[in-house]
Amino acid sequence: MPVKRKRPSADTKTQKPNNEERRVPDVQIQREGRSIEDLPQDNLINILSRLSVRRIINCGTVSKSWRLIISTPEFAKSHFERAQKSAWPLIRTNDPKRISRTLYLVEPEYESEFDVGQCTCEIGDNESSGHVHMKLDTKFKIPMRDRKMVLYDKLNPKPGARNRRFVGLKPKDHKFNVANSCNGLVCLCEPKQNNPSLVCNPLTGEFVNLPEAPMPSSTRTLILAGIGHCRKTDEYKVIRMFSESMTQQAHVHTLGTRSWRSLVGSPYSPNVRMLKLPTYLNGALLWFRVMYKGTEEIHSFDFETEMFHSIPSRPNGRT
């Protein structure tokens, strides 16, 4: 009498294989060879973190595991530590008639002798002394303001309006201002008052919305904002400040929390509008203050102590 083969139960079908069952036989490894994905994650991070941003983006399309690796904080920290000696700027087109969501990374090839100093200019100058032609292949996209409004207008057209395949966007309604960047994170502000709205990672496309903060009574008051990193606590913080009633107000938000904290102690500058070019450097956010007769000062905010400092200018007016 033939013996029927017992059908596997539902539990047997859904049971996941253990480590022994998942292990590839040594004979198969010898025949097919090992894969680079067999390396420990620490070794992969060490290898991939030595690549340029352009090549890292390409590596993210190789496999899901590689994409997860380059999204880890450990990889970001390792890559930034190696890239500090050869950091390159992000460029954004400045066209008032366009939304300009694209950021271009200036990252020449390793054998190139390009020096970013060739394209720099003094504060207040509109032209540099050098001209460089370069193809910018590495592009990122930053989020769009009022995305829900765009979707609503698309799904609910006005009566009698012609159905179009595209949505006309106004820069004043959908464009973000870029405050500054820190370790690959970009702080974006709404354009009217420059109030910080979100922080995004152009490399991964991820972003986080910032909570609502106290606003000045006048809609014409300009807000100064920027993002930085506290190395002691390994936290990222956003600073915002504005002048009102002859006093300065400053608030700090730590990414991962849900509120802003008011700072005790005013910045040194009597007028926020006089502070220019927010730049993160070594745990502090720096601003240039162009004074009368062309003299300059540097004002800074320390993200560890959450204190403001001022660096006086030299006798010749330069800091």
- Residue pair 141/92 in contact (Cβ under 8 Å)? The answer is no
- Residue pair 210/197 in contact (Cβ under 8 Å)? The answer is yes
pLDDT band for position 6 (cuts 50, 70, 90): very low
Segment 232-278, tens digit of pLDDT: 999 999 999 888 777 788 899 999 999 999 987 655 544 677 778 88
Q: What is the C-alpha separation between 34 and 306, in angstroms, rounded?
A: 51
Give the number of other CB atoms < 10 A from CB of residue 18: 8
Domain range list for the chain: 33-85, 88-110+134-157+166-174, 176-319
Give the burial class of 79: count Cβ atoms within 10 A of its Cβ; 0-12 exposed, 13-18 middle, 19 or more buried: buried
The beta-carbon contacts of 264-267 under 8 Å, at least 24 apart in sequence, are: 265/307, 265/308, 266/308, 267/241, 267/299, 267/301, 267/308
Mean of the per-residue pLDDT values of the chain? 72
Q: What is the C-alpha separation between 164 and 147, in angstroms, rounded?
A: 18
State the residue for tokens 């007016």. Answer: 317
Average pLDDT for residues 8-16, to the nearest whole number? 48
Helix (DSSP H) and strand (DSSP E) numbers for the chain: 9, 15
Sheet containing 261-262: which strands, arranged edge to edge? 224-230, 235-244, 247-254, 261-262
Whole-model pTM: value is 0.66
The beta-carbon contacts of 105-109 under 8 Å, at least 24 apart in sequence, are: 105/53, 105/54, 105/136, 105/138, 105/139, 105/140, 106/134, 106/136, 107/52, 107/53, 107/54, 107/138, 108/134
Q: Looking at residue 254, what is its pLDDT?
A: 96
User: Taking 70 as the threshold, does the pLDDT of residue 42 lie above it?
Assistant: yes
Q: What is the C-alpha separation between 144 and 301, in angstroms, rounded?
A: 29
Average pLDDT for residues 209-215, to the nearest whole number? 89
User: E strands, the chain, where?
Assistant: 90-92, 102-105, 139-141, 177-182, 185-189, 196-201, 206-209, 224-230, 235-244, 247-254, 261-262, 275-281, 284-290, 296-302, 307-311
Give the burial class of 312: count Cβ atoms within 10 A of its Cβ; 0-12 exposed, 13-18 middle, 19 or more buried: exposed
Average pLDDT for residues 159-166, to the nearest whole number? 56
Query: Is domain 33-85 classified as CATH 3.30.160?
Result: no
Look at 53-57, 144-148, 263-267, 269-273 and tell me which has the smallest mean pLDDT.
144-148
pLDDT band for position 230 (cuts 50, 70, 90): very high
Length of the chain: 319
Of the two residues 49 and 122, the one the predictor is more confident about is 49
* Terminal Cα-to-Cα distance of the chain (whole angstroms): 98
Q: Looking at residue 29, what is its pLDDT?
A: 47
Of the two residues 252 and 310, the one the predictor is more confident about is 252
